[in-house]
Structure formats: structure tokens, C-alpha cells
Structure 1
């Protein structure tokens, strides 16, 4: 996924990510989730497994993304916290929603705290501190997701502004094992940060 001939493409931003109540979702294994409660707060960067019944109630096993990827790599069972299904929301891209970027001004960003907010993309060129951020990259007519930025913006050998990205799985493996990830270059105008 090296920077390619798409230097003259200027696609619309990726679709926003909305939170859907877990009770409305099926096949949740590996899904990105948010846990929390209205008026209290929200916690993301989590992955779920399929819900289970316990004591006549539905619970969702949830674990940090780093543990999810460790378990996937090692083939081990991970110990997940059980959350009542009504406190779990599944993150989903919604292509039907208006494709726009996150508003820059505070009063435009205010949300109703009854559910996790819809997350709109931010052009990578507008973001300070890109390293470690989850990004979308436009490549070959589609958005690639589950990527992490591994550096700040730089000028590449062709004089374009670019960033380096890796697969999210490799990002977490790098922290856990020290094995450097396979890095791919992306032109900054074709990258968006999840806000």
C-alpha cells in the first residue's frame, strides 16, 4: 500500500461512525464497541465477543483492543469483562449519513450525552499529534480502515506530504513484542483521522 498515482484524487470523507445499541446487533465477535451509560460517560478502544446468557440476563464480553489482538495472535483465550448488554454500543460506519468532516467549533460539536456521539472524520492534515491515531486511508477507490498512524506528516521523495501507517493488529503487536510493523505510506490528503 505504498503511495500511488492517487495524488490527484480528492475523495469525499469516509462515512461517520455511529454507535448502535448492542441489543440491535448480531455476530459481535471482534466488533469495536463503546461501553458506558447516559450522562456518565463512554469508554472506547474496546472489542467484543458474542453476547452470552448468564443468570437470565444478556451480557457482552468486552476487552481492550490490545488484549483482543494478543488473543488473536497467540490463539489464547482472553479474559474479558462482562458488561450488561444495555451498556454496550457497537461502532459502525454509516454510509447513508451525510459525508462531512467534524465541525471545528466547540458549539457545533456539542452532543446529547444520552448515547455515544457520532464520530465524524477529520482530515489528517488538520490534526496535530497523528502518531498512534486511528486513521482511514483512501486507496484504489475505497477506504481502508483499522489502520494506525506511526509518525507525523513528512515530505516524501516526490515532494508530496505523506504519513506512514500500519495495520492496527501490527500496531498492538509492536507494543507487545517489539517487532516493528510493516509500514505503508499514504498521502496526507487521502487520510482522515477518527475523531
Structure 2
């Protein structure tokens, strides 16, 4: 569970995840997506496959993240819901968008009829980290496939959080197989 990287190496924040209509995206296979509609609301933690045409309508096959990782592990088939392409948005990183500090409610208001931009927040500013998907700065770059399995703690004078790869997180939920956790400096983590 050793630490990787240097505690004094604090990178710029990762990019925000901006919703792009699926009808304007290419190669949706395995993409993280948002589904929903104006007047209803939005669902996250979904994966898409490439669009298909059914009864003259363009639809996107969607599965939950849990089913996606179950299929990746070869632990059974995943059955997709066919959602109209107009109701699906791909989460695309937009470089240079950074992470604002969580502000007052008035600064966080959004349009409920549009899928929201998901801005990364420093893990040090977010309570309740267990289960959160995070960007993790490791080996000189960001990875977006980790989940927190602890709250912040102190280790040899540094503040850390234990993380596991998301694939292992879902395997743990599905099979009870405890994943190999690693300690990460909290300043190397941003929530998604």
C-alpha cells in the first residue's frame, strides 16, 4: 500500500467533464455517458456502445458501470437498454477548465434541463470520500478509473486516502474479492 509520487508534486487540476451530445461524438464504445432529458433529470455512471438504428430511430445501448466491469471481467453478459441518441451525452474532458473551489449555492446553480458539467474538486475539500470516483495523479499523469475506499488519514505527516482501481472496486461489490488498495497523497486526488 505504499505511496507513489512525491508529496510536494502538486499538479494542475484535471479537466472538467463536459457533456457532448452523442449524435456529435464518434466511437462511443465504452464511453462514460449521461442519460436523461429536459423536464426529467440526469443519470451518471453509465457506459455506452456504438449507436444502432432500431425501427428507424438512432439509439445508444447503455449499461451501468457495474455491468460494464462485470462484462470486462468476463463474469457474465451485460444487457443494454436502448436509449434514444438525443437523450445521451458523452462525458468529454475539456483541457484547461481546472477546478474551482466549491462555492456558495448561488455560484453552483445550473440549468436543470441541460446535463451538468462535472467539475473536479480537490479531495481535500470533499467530505465523504468513500466510494467516490476520483482523478488520480500518478506516474506524471491523471487516471480517471479509481475509487476511494477510505476517508482522509495521516501517514508519516502526509494526508492520504486509500484508493483502488475502479474495475477492482466493482469486482469487490460483485464477488466479495477484496482489492489491492494503495495509499495516495490527498493533493493528488480530485473527485469527479
Q: Would you call these one fold, judging by a TM-score over 0.5?
A: yes
Q: What does the per-residue CA deviation read over 1:16-37, in whole Å, with 9 as the maximum and x for residues that have no partner?
A: 0111100011211111111001
Aligned residue-pair number: 192
Q: Normalization by structure 1: what TM-score?
A: 0.93
Match of 1:147 in 2: 146
Q: Does 1:184 align with 2:182?
A: yes
Residue in 2 that maps onto 1:71: 71
* Aligned alpha-carbon RMSD (Å): 1.5
Shift in Å, 1:39:
2.8
Q: Do the aligned partners of 2:5 and 2:139 also contact (CA within 8 Å) in 1?
A: no
Using the size of structure 2 for normalisation, the TM-score is 0.94
8 Å contact from structure 1 (residues 102, 119) kept in 2: no
Unaligned ranges ≥5, structure 2 = none
1:46 corresponds in structure 2 to: 46
Structure 1: which 5+ residue stretches go unaligned?
none
The residue number in structure 2 matching 1:94 is 94
SS at match of 1:116: coil
Any conservation in 2 of the 1:102–1:120 contact (CA below 8 Å)?
no
Give the 3-state SS of the residue equivalent to 1:44 in structure 2. Answer: strand
Deviant stretches of 4+, over 4 Å: none
Which of 142, 150, 158 is residue 160 of structure 1 equivalent to?
Answer: 158
Q: Secondary structure at the match of 1:46?
A: strand
5-14 or 178-187: bigger deviation: 5-14
Contact 1:137 1:145 in 2 (8 A): yes
CA contact (8 A) 1:13 1:101 kept: no
Measured against aligned partners, the alpha-carbon deviations of 1:67-126 in whole angstroms (never above 9, x if no partner) come to: 11111112643111110000001111111x432325321111111233211111111011
| CA–CA separation in structure 1 for the residues paired with 2:5 and 2:55 | 57
Q: Which residue of 1 aligns with 2:3?
A: 3
Partner of 1:170: 168
CA contact under 8 A between 1:32 and 1:47: conserved in structure 2?
yes
Verify the 8 A CA contact 1:102 1:121 in the aligned structure 2.
Answer: no
